[in-house]
Chains A and B, each alone.
Chain A
């Protein structure tokens, strides 16, 4: 039953986010490239610096943090409203009467699923963000050769490690905070909505604050 719950949550929280993550990553990657090119329009700055700036923006901040914030909205509201609805419709009480630990049955698979799948989503987002940047270069912002060269030059693999550490932490925060707000709903449909909003706001704030703390600890 727990395996089945895990697989179901993997699909609901992870696989179903592939579309939105892909679309956002490609377009943001392209826009970052265009804006960087616009700001670095100087004959003394080589064009491949645009690709370096794009790569670092995507790996360090856009994919792990911004995508996690988007997931906090999508996945966090889903978790809080699902658990909240189960609470007000007494489904959680039904589990408890059966002798099932509701927290371990309902929340643990969600945490496991997102902590497992969020890094995959973020890696995909990094890749697609750079594809977006490449497409912008094909559109004439800069030469594709300069873009490809910039993507690989002075690459620091530790930045990927840093991004993935953030990703694990953000995934845990999104699910645990949202689950808390959903699991302890008291009242009816209105309170479910209110708590879903609180879940999104709180997990977003937690991501932003922990992003600062992790950056301070891991990069400085």
Chain B
């Protein structure tokens, strides 16, 4: 479980996060939604410690991120996996080397155990037979799945995904969503996904927070979002004619 208590973050005079509270539970896909520029990515990067927050608390199962020393923070990070918007695969390494990177750094596994773990992760994301290829030889959707395989290689307790569907066609996006939901339930992870893809919201949103101008403007489930009367969420979710029609049918 991750508890977020009243976090603030500014860049210079510009306050991006203006006091957000949230609780992300284990074994479910938690979604952060909001318009571009609303502060979603800063929020997600603050959660993993890539941005130091100005005030507030981020607590990982009783461990407040801000009060950890370097060693404790490093240890916590080995419990995290992250899928970046642009995948962030190491382009000079093969797929297998990408997936085993953290294992090489932090585990005592033998070479064959690491290979087995890489193969397991790659097969889990439905990508057999690509271990010796380089990221540039794969399609966008395949690269995204490699990024997920890398993120779960250390068997993390916490999985963070920044816009996992960006740049993907709708069919591949659904495959990625389903995959994230499956591995979250299968491995009992606390998964936090940053998205503005409404298919994801409806398909896999177990808990959703809507951020507007750096503040939490709404929270609920995927079902709640179809029925809410919150003007902010209605304005955001039903901005397209298609979703207006879906709302009408509901």
Interface residues of A (CB under 8 A from B): 1, 8, 89-91, 93-94, 96-100
Closest to A94 in B: B88
20 A-B contacts (beta carbon < 8 Å): A1-B101, A89-B88, A90-B88, A91-B88, A91-B90, A93-B45, A93-B88, A94-B82, A94-B88, A94-B90, A96-B49, A96-B50, A97-B48, A98-B77, A98-B102, A98-B106, A99-B74, A99-B78, A99-B102, A99-B105
When A and B form their complex, which 3 residue pairs have the shortest distance between CB atoms, in order from nearest?
A99-B77, A90-B88, A94-B88
Interface residues of B (CB under 8 A from A): 45, 48-50, 74-75, 77-78, 80-82, 84-86, 88-92, 101-102, 104-106, 154, 160
Query: What is the CA–CA distance of A1 and B154 in the complex, to the nearest angstrom?
Result: 17
Residues of chain B within 8 A (CB-CB) of A99 are 74-75, 77-78, 102, 105-106
Check A90–B84 contact: CB distance below 8 A.
yes
Query: What is the CA–CA distance of A106 and B183 in the complex, to the nearest angstrom?
Result: 31
Residues of chain B within 8 A (CB-CB) of A97 are 48-50, 77, 80-82, 160
Q: Give the residue of A1, A90, A96 whose beta carbon is less than 8 angstroms from that of B104.
A: A1
Residues of chain A within 8 A (CB-CB) of B81 are 97
- Contacts A91-B90, A98-B101 supplied; 9 other A-B pairs, CB < 8 Å: A89-B86, A89-B88, A90-B85, A93-B50, A97-B160, A98-B154, A99-B75, A99-B102, A100-B102
Query: What is the CA–CA distance of A93 and B44 in the complex, to the nearest angstrom?
Result: 12
Residues of chain A within 8 A (CB-CB) of B91 are 91
Closest to B82 in A: A97
Query: What is the CA–CA distance of A100 and B70 in the complex, to the nearest angstrom?
Result: 11
Check A1–B85 contact: CB distance below 8 A.
no
Closest to B81 in A: A97
Residues of chain A within 8 A (CB-CB) of B106 are 98-99
Q: Give the residue of A93, A94, A100 whose beta carbon is less than 8 angstroms from that of B105.
A: A100
Closest-CB distance, B193 to chain A (whole angstroms): 15
Closest-CB distance, B43 to chain A (whole angstroms): 15
Most central of A89, A94, A99 by chain B CB within 10 Å: A94
Q: A1-B104, A91-B90 are in contact. Are A98 and B84 (CB under 8 A)?
A: no
Most central of B49, B104, B105 by chain A CB within 10 Å: B105
Query: What is the CA–CA distance of A100 and B80 in the complex, to the nearest angstrom?
Result: 12
Residues of chain B within 8 A (CB-CB) of A96 are 49-50, 77
Query: What is the CA–CA distance of A93 and B243 in the complex, to the nearest angstrom?
Result: 35
Residues of chain B within 8 A (CB-CB) of A89 are 86, 88
Residues of chain A within 8 A (CB-CB) of B84 are 90, 93-94
Closest to B84 in A: A90
Query: What is the CA–CA distance of A91 and B135 in the complex, to the nearest angstrom?
Result: 13
Residues of chain A within 8 A (CB-CB) of B86 are 89-90
Closest-CB distance, A92 to chain B (whole angstroms): 9
Closest to B85 in A: A90
Residues of chain A within 8 A (CB-CB) of B74 are 99
Residues of chain B within 8 A (CB-CB) of A91 are 88-91
Closest to A8 in B: B92
Closest-CB distance, A23 to chain B (whole angstroms): 27
Query: What is the CA–CA distance of A1 and B160 in the complex, to the nearest angstrom?
Result: 25
Query: What is the CA–CA distance of A98 and B101 in the complex, to the nearest angstrom?
Result: 9
Closest-CB distance, A143 to chain B (whole angstroms): 52
Check B78–A98 contact: CB distance below 8 A.
yes
Closest to A93 in B: B50
Query: What is the CA–CA distance of A189 and B3 in the complex, to the nearest angstrom?
Result: 36
Closest to B101 in A: A98
Check B105–A1 contact: CB distance below 8 A.
yes
Closest-CB distance, A1 to chain B (whole angstroms): 5
